[in-house]
Amino acid sequence: MIILNGSKSQPLGEKIAVNLGIKFENVSTRIFPDGETYLRIDTDVKARDVVIVQTMFPNQNDSLMEFLLIAGTLKDMGVGRITGVVPYLAYARQDRRFQPGESLSIKTVTELMKSVGVEELITIDTHYQHVEPGRFHLFNIPCTNLSAGRLLLDHIREKIDHDLMTIGPDLGSSEMVKYATGEERVLKKEKKCPICGMPAEECKCRIKKKKYEITEVESELDFSGKNVVVLDDIIASGGTMIKAVKKVKSEGARKVIAAATHGLFMKDSLIKLKEITDYLVVTDAISTPVSNVSVAPLIIEVLK
C-alpha cells in the first residue's frame, strides 16, 4: 500500500504513513496561470493499492478537483484498489432536496469519485444525514464514518479533569455527543415566527421554514460550577457555537470549552470564539491555528 497526499492534507498523510511504516508521496501540484490544476504522480504505483489523503476545505471545488485528478491519473497508471481518505467531505451537507430542482450535490460528488476508480471512502464526522459512526453506503461508494469526539474529550481532560460536562449546541450534534459520552445532552433552539411571534410548531402563517428566527436556546441542564464542553461536528459560520457558549456562560458555567471536529471558521468566528471561551480546539481534519487534536489515530486503525 502507498499513501499519496493531496496538497490539503500533507502533514496528516505523512503522519499516517510514518505510523503505518509505509511509503508516501506528496503529489506535486500547481495552478496554471488560467486557474486550472496541474499535477504529476512521480512514483511507481502499478498494481499497488493506493490511499489518497485529501481533505476538502478550504477551497472545496479545487480540493475536490485535485482529488479527482489524482484518482483518475492513478487509474490510468494501472493501480490496484483506490481508497480515499477525505477527513472533511465537502458537499456532504447538500444531502437532500428541500425544493424541486435543487442539486443533490453529494450524490454527484460520489458518482464522480466512482467514475475515476475510487472504491472506498474514509471520512470523519460527516454531516451527511448525520449518520452514526461506522460503515454505510454513500450512494454508490462504501464509506467509513469515524468520530473524533472521544479524541477531543481525551485531549480536553488532559487540561481540565474535574467537574466536566459535555453538551451539544443543538439537535444536529446529538449523534456525536451520544457516541462520545454515552449520553444525549443537547441544547434546543426555539424557533419563532417573525410575523406572529408564535413558536414555529404553533405558527399558522405557513411561511418558509428558513424564515423562522431562532430567538432562544433552551436548556434544562444545570451548568453552575461546571466546566462545560460544547461539542459539535462543525464550526462553519460559528453562529451555533457562539450562541451555545453564551448560553452556557450566562447560566453559571465555571469554564466553557468549545470543541469541534471541523473548524471552517468563516469570517471572524475564530477570533470571536477565542474571546468568549476558556479553550477552543478542533482537529487536523482541517488545518487551522487551533487544530490541536489529530485524527490520524482513527484513520490508522481503519487502514491497519
Where on the chain is the footprint of ligand R5P (CB under 6 A)?
A: 169-170, 172-173, 232-241
Catalytic position from the list 46, 208, 209, 210 = 209
Amino acid letter for position 255: K
Q: How many other C-beta atoms are found inside a 10 Å radius of the C-beta of residue 23?
A: 14
Nearer to ligand R5P, 8 or 243 (CB): 243
Q: What is d(CA 186, CA 170) in angstroms, rounded to the nearest whole number?
A: 6
Query: By beta-carbon distance, which residue lies closest to ligand R5P?
Result: 172
Residue closer to ligand R5P, measured from CB, 74 or 260: 260
Instruction: Tell me how far, at minimum, the Cβ of 172 lies from ligand R5P, in Å.
Output: 2
CB of 100 to ligand R5P, least distance (A): 23
Q: For residue 253, what are the contacts with CB-CB under 8 A and spacing of at least 6?
A: 223, 224, 225, 226, 227, 228
Query: Can you point out the beta strands (E) in the chain?
Result: 2-5, 24-26, 28-31, 37-40, 50-53, 82-85, 118-124, 134-138, 141-146, 164-167, 188-192, 213-218, 227-235, 255-263, 279-283, 291-293
3-state secondary structure of 22: coil
209 is known as an active-site residue: yes
Task: State in angstroms the smallest separation of the CB of 30 from ligand R5P.
Answer: 32
Q: Return the bridge partners of 119, or none.
A: none
Inter-residue contact 13 to 3 (CB < 8 Å): yes
Residue whose CB is less far from ligand R5P, 159 or 188: 188
Q: CB-wise, 53 or 258, nearer to ligand R5P?
A: 258
Rounded least distance, CB 258 to ligand R5P, Å: 11
- Closest contact distance (angstroms) between CB of 280 and ligand R5P is 13
Closer residue to ligand R5P, CB minimum distance, 235 or 295: 235
Q: CA-CA distances (angstroms) from residue 96 to 92, 93, 103, 272?
A: 10, 8, 8, 31
Query: Does residue 199 have a cis peptide bond before it, meaning omega lies within 30 degrees of 0?
Result: no
Catalytic residues, by residue number, are: 209
